[in-house]
Amino acid sequence: MTKKSMTCVLVLIVLAAIVSLAGCTAPSTDHKATLAGKDVFDPAKFSMATYTIATAENQSQGLLTVLAYPGEKDGDRLASVTVSGNVSSRLDAWLNRSHEGVNNATLTVIDGEGMQTVAMPKSLNMTTMDETWNTPGSTYDYYGTDSVIVPAGQYNNCTVYYGTKTIQYMGSNLSFEVIYYMHPSSPVPIFYMVKSSDGIVAYALNSVYGPDDIDSTPERTAQSYFDRISSGEYTRAARLLVTVDGSTLKPMGRDSILSMEENMSRTYGTAGEKMAIQYILTDSIQSTGRIGGHNAVAVHWSSIHYSRSPGQVYYIDGTFNMVDDGGWKIIV
């Protein structure tokens, strides 16, 4: 099957429920000849992206979140997590200076029976926890242009890249085809598909945030808050909190911050040495009116926190009341 026929067949059968594809269009001259694996998710160009995952049969497979943490001691980190029901898999991969390889990576899998954290073999060189087995050294060839509608919106004249690859894993050869839809308005793929012997899996963009974004939406604020808690940066986490005095918003006072630091350090320690966070997902945002002239919402979230030793898993959900005060803040 040619690349053209394969692409158009995928376009016709994948994700009718969550994504609409406009069909193959004439090639554009404004494009790069190849897409490098290191540029698919570049931690210098975004802070957070979320995707809906589905199969060719339009069956929802869950959610993918990709997070960027540039400038860490072991290299620029990409953290990605897939969540489907009570099963989640998280890959943390630290890229080398040139982003041509992975310094190290850890995989944490949590299901109804418990959790397991393992060091990933460097030879796999994976960057994200999805079905693409993308490595920094992968290359994808330019195919053409196409338009697509995903939960994040409509994107016209996306540049489409295509690649095939075969990898060795657990003594077996795995062969598959990958298509990426890239658009100049987004630092991450708008849409991508993987075809293997197991079928087709597709990823449709829900949301994406720039590299310096910490609080532009309630979803981003919730993630930023838990990121700072998980890394032991409790004072920075407190900057995302406000109190309400009548109709006046106030930052947390020094005594309250010190009390928070003491309480949190007992649970999480320094940089998650006691408790760690697998993921945080916001699944409902409801308007609650206005506070002091600012929009306010109730944000329902779910999360998994765990301790490594002893290995214990905690499924947690809750609601944050938030207010838009030059960026979304959590009311305490």
pLDDT, tens digit, 9 for 90 and up, residues 103-123: 999 999 999 888 999 999 888
Same domain, 55 and 168: yes
Q: What is the CATH number of the domain that holds 239?
A: 3.10.450.50
Same domain, 59 and 198: yes
| Full residue range of the structural domain in which residue 244 is found | 218-331
Same domain, 177 and 49: yes
Same domain, 110 and 194: yes
Contact criterion met (CB below 8 Å) for 183 and 147: no
Q: Which of 186, 209, 232 is the last residue of a domain?
A: 209
Mean pLDDT to the nearest integer, 259-283: 89
Same domain, 162 and 258: no
Mean pLDDT to the nearest integer, 57-85: 90
The SS3 call for residue 52 is strand
Same domain, 61 and 154: yes
Question: Does position 26 have pLDDT exceeding 80, yes or no?
Answer: no
Same domain, 204 and 222: no
Same domain, 185 and 234: no
Question: Does position 153 have pLDDT exceeding 90, yes or no?
Answer: yes
Mean pLDDT to the nearest integer, 170-179: 88
Q: Which of 176, 209, 242 is the last residue of a domain?
A: 209
Please state the separation of Cα 279 from the chain's center in Å.
10
Which of the pair, 70 or 56, is modelled with greater confidence?
70
Question: Does position 318 have pLDDT exceeding 60, yes or no?
Answer: yes
Instruction: Return the axis-axis angle of helices 218-230 and 254-268, rounded to nearest 10°.
Output: 70
Same domain, 203 and 231: no
Residue 233 DSSP one-character state = -
Q: Parallel, antiparallel, or unpaired for β 328-331 and 241-245?
A: parallel
Which of the pair, 168 or 255, is modelled with greater confidence?
255
Question: Does position 154 have pLDDT exceeding 80, yes or no?
Answer: yes
Question: Does position 241 have pLDDT exceeding 60, yes or no?
Answer: yes
The SS3 call for residue 152 is coil
Q: Which two tokens stand for residue 50?
A: 């979320």
Q: Which of 174, 209, 244 is the last residue of a domain?
A: 209
Q: Count up the domains in the chain and report the number.
A: 2
pLDDT of residue 11: 38
CA distance 66 to 128: 7
CA distance 70 to 310: 30
Contact criterion met (CB below 8 Å) for 93 and 74: no
Same domain, 152 and 13: yes
pLDDT of residue 177: 96
Exposure of 213 by Cβ count < 10 A (0-12 exposed, 13-18 middle, 19+ buried)?
middle
Same domain, 307 and 194: no
Same domain, 161 and 113: yes
Q: Compute and round to an integer the Cα radius of gyration of the chain.
A: 21
